[in-house]
């Protein structure tokens, strides 16, 4: 695996991806975030050695390199989900590559189902913590010290200074934000009413099918993470409604403008 990451890093460096400030992972329906990037290069995953190729509708699958507010960024347009059949090492491979490209700051985004009764569809939630309920762990197996330590500290999975900065920006710009705990399940089924209730009782605010593996690996590699989740549907006890992938994407896109504004200003001020 180490050699594979180095091969991929060498390829991307040869394309000019150096001196990077931020890695960004674009979640379902949040591909519009690329509009804030002054794009210098777009590399389809299928052209990148060792990169998996995403299959889900709405995840087009390219690495976008460019600038936001003068800072160099690499964005993943399309992520790899465990439910697609990828191994955890494949789901998280791009994060390892980002770190070896010199990236210390990772921004993750996703769409999720809100279980906090104060949430509504379209809310933007700053992820302050997560609960890992995925059936496999990206760090399971022999540990390669060149990536990071065997036992990884997780006392601050999402950087508190980054959270404070974005809360400040949201206040200044009058963009309403929630803050909460994201729980990751495998999917691809959305939750049953009983499952939504279970995750709520566990202390969850929003539930989804991604992000946690990438953040675990980012912490393994010593990166600092910031996460945003768009609430695209609700799993609130007694009010669980029908949900579809299309509705999730639509709801996420509707919050795109505010998300873009937050991320852009965050990057400018970090």
In this structure, the number of other CB atoms found within 10 A of the CB of residue 255 comes to 23
Q: At what angle do helices 256-269 and 245-254 cross, to 10 degrees?
A: 50
Residues near ligand HPA (CB under 6 A), total: 13
Angle at 18 between CA 12 and CA 21, to 5 degrees: 115
Closer residue to ligand HPA in complex, CB, 210/265? 210
Which of 164, 162, 180, 171 has its CA nearest to residue 125?
180
Site for ligand HPA contains 113 (CB under 6 A): yes
Whole-number Cα distances in Å, 8 to 34, 155, 174:
22, 31, 41
| Residues 1-40, mask of contacts with ligand HPA (x by CB under 6 A) | ----------------------------------------
Closer residue to ligand HPA in complex, CB, 89/109? 109
Site for ligand HPA contains 157 (CB under 6 A): no
Site for ligand HPA contains 162 (CB under 6 A): no
Among 209, 216, 218, 225, binds ligand HPA (CB under 6 A): 209
Site for ligand HPA contains 232 (CB under 6 A): yes
3-state DSSP assignment of residue 174: coil
Among 111, 124, 170, 221, binds ligand HPA (CB under 6 A): 111
Which of 127, 70, 103 has its CA nearest to residue 267?
70
Site for ligand HPA contains 134 (CB under 6 A): no
128 backbone dihedrals φ, ψ, rounded to 5°: -100, -15
Closer residue to ligand HPA in complex, CB, 148/235? 235
Among 191, 221, 228, 253, binds ligand HPA (CB under 6 A): 191
Among 243, 256, 261, 264, binds ligand HPA (CB under 6 A): 243
Only segment of 43-51, 77-85, 170-178, 230-238 that touches ligand HPA (CB under 6 A): 230-238
Cis before 188? omega within 30: yes
Site for ligand HPA contains 123 (CB under 6 A): no
Q: Which residues here bind ligand HPA, judged by CB under 6 A?
A: 111-113, 190-191, 207-209, 232-233, 235, 243, 248
């Amino acid at each position: 695996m180490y050699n594979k990451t180095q091969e991929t890093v060498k390829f991307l460096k040869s394309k000019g991806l150096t001196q990077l400030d931020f890695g960004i992972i674009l979640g379902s329906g949040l591909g519009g975030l690329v509009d804030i990037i002054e794009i210098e290069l777009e590399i389809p995953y299928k052209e990148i050695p060792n990169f998996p190729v995403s299959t889900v509708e709405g995840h087009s699958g390219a690495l976008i390199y460019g600038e936001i507010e003068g800072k160099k960024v690499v964005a993943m347009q399309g992520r790899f989900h465990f439910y697609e059949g990828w191994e955890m090492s494949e789901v998280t491979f791009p994060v390892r590559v980002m770190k070896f490209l010199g990236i210390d700051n990772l921004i993750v985004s996703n769409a999720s189902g809100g279980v906090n009764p104060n949430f509504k569809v379209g809310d933007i939630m700053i992820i302050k913590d997560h609960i890992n309920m995925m059936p496999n762990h990206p760090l399971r197996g022999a540990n390669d010290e060149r990536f990071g330590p065997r036992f990884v500290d997780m006392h601050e999975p999402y950087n508190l200074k980054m959270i404070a900065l974005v809360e400040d920006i949201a206040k200044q710009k009058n963009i309403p934000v929630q803050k909460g705990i994201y729980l990751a399940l495998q999917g691809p089924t959305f939750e049953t009413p009983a499952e939504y209730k279970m995750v709520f009782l566990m202390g969850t605010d929003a539930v989804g099918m991604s992000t946690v593996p990438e953040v675990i690996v980012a912490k393994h590699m010593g990166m600092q993470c910031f996460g945003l989740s768009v609430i695209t549907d609700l799993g609130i006890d007694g009010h669980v409604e029908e949900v579809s992938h299309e509705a999730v994407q639509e709801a996420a896109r509707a919050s795109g403008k505010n998300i873009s504004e937050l991320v852009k200003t965050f990057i400018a001020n970090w």
